């Protein structure tokens, strides 16, 4: 009914007008253009894009002050500091890496996630920079550096470590005349006595899966040492996730569940709810990372003197050392291989991991990733117990889920959750893990 | 035999009960969120279900006084309104052409546009990031506006085309006999007729884009360019267990949606049915 030669150009004009109008009103200012270029052409302008996840007080200020010290010392370099929340950061970094435009300096937890970027050739090798500055190198905590090193190459600088400890309520233990448990059997005895007095033995919420995984990792490590996990993860020397130590750890967990060591409905509870049970003194113990103390300072300052911390109990006839700690890197910083100003980026890393920043980190209740004598001297009193446990450790076992590739890590958390929920047997769970590991190894 | 148009009393009761249940399901979370935002922290710890002790707006005021939050609001408004304007500017003429005019390649154009509907958002993130970086629109609001528009145009064209298609051809034909050009027909006859449909599409886009998270996260980086969903995410994380403040912030974030929806409600209902019954 209508000849199209007329209407088609008309439509085109409408489209072009719309686009021009909008782009003109907003996009054609000079600033966005130069911003946009920064992800590809940082070289000429000496700019560092820096993404991290310290997005709120008090650690936000620690990073901000390190950045401002860096700016004062390097007036020629502009730092674009971008604080992001945890999960959005992971997603944004993944996409930026995929698009080949990662930030110059960025946060990392080390472990498997960092390794995948290292394998893809996206991370700058920091070993030469460390060797060129032995004072810097020797001030860092070697075990934390291990989590950021692959094939002898250091790929990130850790700034603080976390570790899982057995936190207990000193007031409750004193009132019931209990001693913090040193062996698993003593632990079971403690649970029994706490329960008899109407106290929940362990505050634990396992809906997020990771809190329960701490129990599993600790028990497996105490039963079999760190060897079986390392060998199973790297598929060397007949390593297997069906190793007896994993099965026994599962059996011990189910024994705890059946003895009501955990609050009713713990499978549907999250960490927020669980720690509230501990802070309101309805639960006697909590197996948690050192970050618990930061929450305590914020949510239950009156608890400060009541929280004690001991190493996880040993297991009778276990092969694992009593001082091995489950832990990991809480924050570290890596430089992308596409960074146009590696010298400036390394200077920024030094500022972030230096003693001044570490002292401020420590003041927020964290454990700086510096050598024991330096770190322990600056630690805040409430973190002293857990920090001592960390630095007395003969070995630090990285959190299982961080040490494993993502699919296996998810499987580990899922099967552990099922063990806790009594919906699977420890034997079955171990087989499931091993089968997936075999399948993934076969795909390589 | 019952007439098909008449409804028995029992049937009407069931329908109303179902509607009421749906109403409760839809409204309850919003009411709870607003109420929680009005509570004091003590009230909240005492009972999470009880209504607030009074009309307390302190939490809301505290959030609105944060300069960051105001910034997010403004950014979100710029992005949402900009993207809607761009989408409508492109899709209204396109839908008119596809619905009322005949031209060579009509089918191909249709298919290309509809193909845009089936594109999963996540596979486009990396290519789009490269593209925006390449043309200097990374980390700009206008870049984000264009991405939103690109993803909104297909669905808008499909809805609007159905509407234009329902307008009896006699109307544009009569205008043409009176000497109107195609563009005049579009501007003076068809667009005014299509107002309910444009409203419907506009509100639909408003809801989508106002709440959109992944694009904003990927394509914006500077803290001062953040949109509201990004800001709320950060707010929720930094305020941890402060449920009262979080609820107040979320209520404020959702308020424009509710206002727009209430104001446009009449038009939306008309727009959704207009395509079916107009003639």
Q: Identify the structural domains of chain B with CATH numbers, from first to last.
A: 76-221+268-277 (1.10.3720.10)
Residue in A closest to B221 by C-alpha: A82
**pLDDT above 70: residue B278:** no
The DSSP bridge pattern shows strands A157-169 and A367-368 to be antiparallel
Cβ contacts below 8 Å, chain A against chain B, sum to 147
B18-34 burial, b at 16+ Cβ within 10 Å, e below that, comes to eeeeeeeeeeeeeeebb
Among residues B194, B89, B204, which one has the least CA distance to residue A25? Answer: B89
Q: Which two tokens stand for residue A154?
A: 């250091």
In residues, how long is chain B? 279
Alpha-carbon distance values, A350 to A49, A102, A126, A157, A346 (Å): 16, 20, 11, 9, 6
A320 compared with B235, residue with greater pLDDT: A320
- The chain-wide mean pLDDT, for chain B, equals 87
Residues A234 and A361 placed together within one structural domain of the fold:
no
Alpha-carbon distance values, A197 to A63, A190, A261 (Å): 45, 11, 13
Residues A166 and A287 placed together within one structural domain of the fold:
yes
Q: Is the peptide bond before A58 cis (omega within 30 degrees of 0)?
A: yes
Any domain includes A68: yes
Among residues A379, A360, A355, which one has the least CA distance to residue A57? Answer: A360
Residues A134 and A188 placed together within one structural domain of the fold:
no
Residues A140 and A182 placed together within one structural domain of the fold:
no
Q: Which of B126, B138, B217 sits opposite A88 (nearest CB)?
A: B217
Any domain includes A54: yes
pLDDT computed for residue A8 by the predictor: 47
Residue in B closest to A80 by C-alpha: B222
Any domain includes A273: yes
Which CATH number characterizes residue A311's domain?
Answer: 3.40.190.10
From the centroid of its chain, how far is CA B72?
18
pLDDT tens digits, B8-67 = 888 889 999 999 999 999 889 999 999 999 988 788 877 878 888 888 888 898 888 888
Q: Which of B217, B240, B249 to mutate to test the interface with A (most CBs of A within 10 A)?
A: B217
Residues A167 and A257 placed together within one structural domain of the fold:
yes
Any domain includes A371: yes
Residues A254 and A362 placed together within one structural domain of the fold:
no
Q: Which of A6, A18, A101 sits opposite B86 (nearest CB)?
A: A18
Q: Which domain holds residue A260?
A: 162-326+399-443
Min Cα separation A65/chain B (Å):
17
Residues A100 and A232 placed together within one structural domain of the fold:
no
- Sorted by sequence, the CB contacts under 8 Å of residue A359 that are 6+ apart come out as A368, A378
Contact list in A for residue B181 (CB cut-off 8 A) is 6
The DSSP bridge pattern shows strands A307-310 and A105-108 to be unpaired
Q: Which of A27, A51, A55 sits opposite B142 (nearest CB)?
A: A27
**DSSP class per residue in A175-197:** HTT----SBHHHHHHHHHHHHHT
pLDDT computed for residue A39 by the predictor: 40
pLDDT tens digits, B216-234 = 999 999 989 999 999 888 8
Contact B94 A26 (CB under 8 A): no
Query: Which of A359, A384, A409 delimits the end of a domain?
Result: A384
- Sorted by sequence, the CB contacts under 8 Å of residue A21 that are 6+ apart come out as B89
pLDDT tens digits, A418-438 = 999 999 999 999 999 999 999
pLDDT tens digits, B58-97 = 889 888 888 888 999 999 999 999 999 999 999 999 999 9
Residues of chain A short of pLDDT 70, as ranges, are: 1-45
How many folded domains does chain A comprise?
Answer: 2
Any domain includes A12: no
Residue in B closest to A9 by C-alpha: B183
Contact B222 A80 (CB under 8 A): yes
Residues A176 and A245 placed together within one structural domain of the fold:
yes
Which band of pLDDT confidence, cut at 50, 70 and 90, is reported for residue B146?
Answer: very high
Distance CA A185, CA A166 (A): 15
Contact list in A for residue B170 (CB cut-off 8 A) is none
Contact status of B82 with chain A (Cβ, < 8 Å):
yes
Any domain includes A15: no
Residues A220 and A253 placed together within one structural domain of the fold:
yes
Distance CA B115, CA B126 (A): 19
Any domain includes A21: no
Contact status of B168 with chain A (Cβ, < 8 Å):
no
pLDDT computed for residue A43 by the predictor: 42
Contact B214 A91 (CB under 8 A): yes
Residues A297 and A203 placed together within one structural domain of the fold:
yes
Any domain includes A19: no
Q: Which of A6, A21, A35 sits opposite B140 (nearest CB)?
A: A35
Residues A261 and A303 placed together within one structural domain of the fold:
yes
A37 compared with B105, residue with greater pLDDT: B105
Q: Which two tokens stand for residue B188?
A: 């003076």
The answer to whether the CB of A11 falls within 8 A of the CB of B97 is yes
pLDDT tens digits, A70-98 = 999 998 899 999 999 888 898 899 999 98
**DSSP class per residue in A118-140:** HHTT-B---HHHHHH-HHHHHHB
Residues A286 and A183 placed together within one structural domain of the fold:
yes
The answer to whether the CB of B119 falls within 8 A of the CB of A43 is no
pLDDT computed for residue B270 by the predictor: 65
What is the DSSP-derived secondary structure letter of residue B59? Answer: H
Tokens 């909590």 locate to A286
Contact A32 B237 (CB under 8 A): no
The sign one gets for the Cα dihedral B81, B83, B84, B90 is positive
pLDDT computed for residue A2 by the predictor: 42
Percentage of chain A exceeding pLDDT 90:
65
The answer to whether the CB of A245 falls within 8 A of the CB of A220 is yes
Q: Which of A49, A51, A96 sits opposite B129 (nearest CB)?
A: A96
Contact status of B125 with chain A (Cβ, < 8 Å):
yes
Which residues 29-58 in chain B show a CB within 8 A of chain A?
A: none
């Amino acid at each position: 009914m209508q000849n199209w030669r007329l209407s088609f150009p008309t439509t085109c004009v409408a489209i072009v007008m719309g686009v021009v109008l909008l782009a003109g009103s907003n996009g054609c200012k000079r600033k966005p253009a130069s911003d946009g270029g920064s992800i590809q052409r940082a070289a000429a302008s000496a700019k560092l894009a820096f993404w991290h996840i310290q997005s709120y007080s008090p650690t936000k200020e620690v990073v901000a002050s390190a950045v401002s010290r860096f700016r004062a010392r390097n007036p020629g370099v502009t730092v674009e500091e971008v604080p992001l929340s945890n999960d959005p950061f992971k997603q944004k970094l993944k996409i930026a890496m995929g698009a080949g435009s990662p930030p110059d300096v960025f946060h990392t937890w080390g472990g498997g996630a960092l390794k995948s970027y290292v394998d893809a050739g996206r991370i700058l090798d920091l070993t030469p920079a460390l060797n060129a500055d032995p004072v810097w190198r020797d001030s860092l905590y070697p075990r934390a550096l291990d989590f950021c090193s692959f094939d002898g190459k250091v790929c990130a600088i850790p700034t603080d470590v976390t570790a899982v400890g057995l936190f207990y309520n000193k007031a409750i233990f004193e009132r019931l005349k209990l001693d913090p448990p040193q062996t698993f059997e003593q632990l079971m005895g403690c649970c029994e006595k706490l329960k008899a007095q109407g106290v929940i033995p362990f505050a634990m919420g396992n809906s997020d899966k990771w809190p329960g995984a701490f129990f599993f990792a600790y028990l497996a490590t105490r039963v079999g040492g760190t060897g079986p996990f390392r060998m199973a993860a790297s598929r060397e020397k007949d390593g297997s996730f069906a190793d007896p130590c994993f099965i026994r750890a599962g059996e011990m967990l189910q024994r705890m569940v059946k003895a009501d060591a955990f609050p009713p409905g713990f499978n549907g509870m999250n960490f927020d709810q669980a720690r509230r049970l501990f802070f309101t003194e309805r639960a006697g113990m909590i197996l948690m990372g050192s970050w618990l103390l930061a929450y305590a300072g914020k949510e239950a300052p009156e608890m400060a003197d009541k929280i004690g911390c001991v190493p996880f109990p040993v297991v009778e006839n276990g092969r694992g050392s009593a001082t091995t700690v489950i832990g990991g890197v809480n924050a570290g910083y890596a430089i992308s291989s596409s960074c146009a100003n590696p010298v400036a980026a390394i200077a920024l890393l030094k500022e972030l991991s230096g003693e001044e920043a570490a002292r401020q980190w420590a003041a927020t209740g964290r454990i700086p990733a510096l050598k024991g004598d330096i770190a322990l001297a600056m630690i805040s009193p409430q973190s002293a117990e857990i920090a001592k446990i960390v630095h007395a450790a003969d070995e630090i076992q990285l959190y299982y889920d961080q040490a494993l590739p993502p699919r296996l890590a998810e499987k580990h958390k899922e099967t552990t959750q099922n063990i806790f929920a009594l919906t699977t047997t420890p034997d079955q769970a171990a087989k499931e893990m091993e089968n997936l590991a075999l399948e993934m190894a076969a795909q390589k | 035999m019952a007439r098909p148009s008449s409804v028995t009393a029992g049937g009407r009761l069931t329908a109303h009960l179902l509607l009421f249940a749906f109403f409760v399901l839809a409204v309850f979370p919003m009411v709870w969120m607003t109420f929680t935002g009005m509570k004091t922290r003590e009230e909240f710890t005492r009972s999470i279900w009880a209504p607030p002790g009074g009309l307390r707006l302190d939490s809301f005021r505290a959030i609105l006084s944060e300069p960051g939050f105001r910034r997010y609001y403004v950014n979100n408004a710029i992005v949402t309104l900009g993207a809607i304007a761009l989408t409508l500017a492109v899709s209204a003429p396109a839908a008119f052409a596809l619905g009322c005019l005949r031209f060579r390649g009509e089918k191909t154009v249709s298919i290309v546009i509809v193909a845009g509907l089936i594109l999963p958002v996540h596979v486009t993130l990396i290519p789009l990031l490269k593209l925006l970086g390449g043309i200097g629109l990374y980390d700009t609001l206008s870049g984000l506006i264009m991405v939103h528009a690109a993803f909104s145009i297909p669905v808008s064209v499909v809805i609007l085309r159905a509407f234009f298609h329902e307008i009896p051809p006699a109307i544009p034909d009569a205008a043409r006999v009176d000497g109107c050009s195609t563009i005049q027909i579009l501007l003076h006859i068809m667009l005014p007729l299509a107002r309910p449909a444009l409203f419907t599409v506009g509100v639909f886009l408003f809801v989508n884009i106002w709440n959109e998270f992944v694009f904003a996260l990927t394509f914006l980086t500077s803290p001062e360019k953040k949109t509201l969903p990004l800001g709320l995410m950060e707010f929720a994380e930094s305020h941890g267990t402060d449920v009262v403040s979080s609820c107040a912030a979320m209520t404020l974030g959702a308020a424009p949606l509710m206002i727009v929806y209430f104001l446009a409600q009449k038009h939306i209902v008309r727009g959704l049915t207009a395509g079916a019954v107009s003639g």
